[in-house]
């Protein structure tokens, strides 16, 4: 996949809203960005944080390393009994999810704030 004209390096902006930790991902999510992503995931959730939101609306590029990190985050969060939600990104990022079949494994939403959980 061709890289976008974004800022390059992955930036992660973290906020908290309505019982969720929101990780807004900006730039290119490739192998170089995985360590920072994993460090942020390793931060202990607050007692009221029942949901992790991975907001990919500002990603310009997603490779297999970034995709694997998202899948591992989803697995880890769910194993801890919490909810993991991924906010869809630009078409080039969403296409990676579709081509790999990952879109059927993740809870994908179109925006934030989140719709109520229906499960």
pLDDT reported for residue 15: 93
E strand or H helix at 70:
helix 64-79
pLDDT reported for residue 1: 42
Say if domain 11-109 classifies as CATH 3.40.50.2300.
Answer: no
Beta strands at 20-29 and 108-109: parallel, antiparallel or unpaired: unpaired
Q: Residue 57: what are its φ and ψ, rounded to 5°?
A: -65, -25
- From first to last of its 119 residues, what are the pLDDT tens digits of the chain? 444 445 579 999 999 988 999 999 999 999 999 999 999 999 988 888 999 999 999 999 999 999 999 999 999 999 999 999 999 999 999 999 999 999 999 999 998 776 554 33
pLDDT reported for residue 111: 87
Q: 106 forms bridges with which residues in the sheet?
A: none
């Amino acid at each position: 996949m061709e890289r976008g004209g974004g800022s390059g390096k992955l930036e992660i902006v973290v906020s908290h809203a309505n019982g969720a930790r929101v990780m807004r991902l900006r730039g290119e999510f490739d192998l170089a960005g995985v360590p920072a992503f994993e460090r942020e995931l390793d931060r202990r959730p607050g007692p009221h944080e029942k949901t992790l939101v991975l907001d990919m609306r500002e990603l310009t590029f997603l490779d297999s390393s970034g995709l694997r990190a998202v899948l591992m985050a989803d697995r880890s969060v769910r194993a801890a009994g919490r909810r993991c939600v991924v906010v869809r990104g630009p078409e080039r990022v969403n296409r990676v999810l579709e081509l790999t079949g990952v879109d059927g494994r993740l809870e994908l939403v179109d925006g934030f704030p989140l719709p109520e959980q229906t499960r």
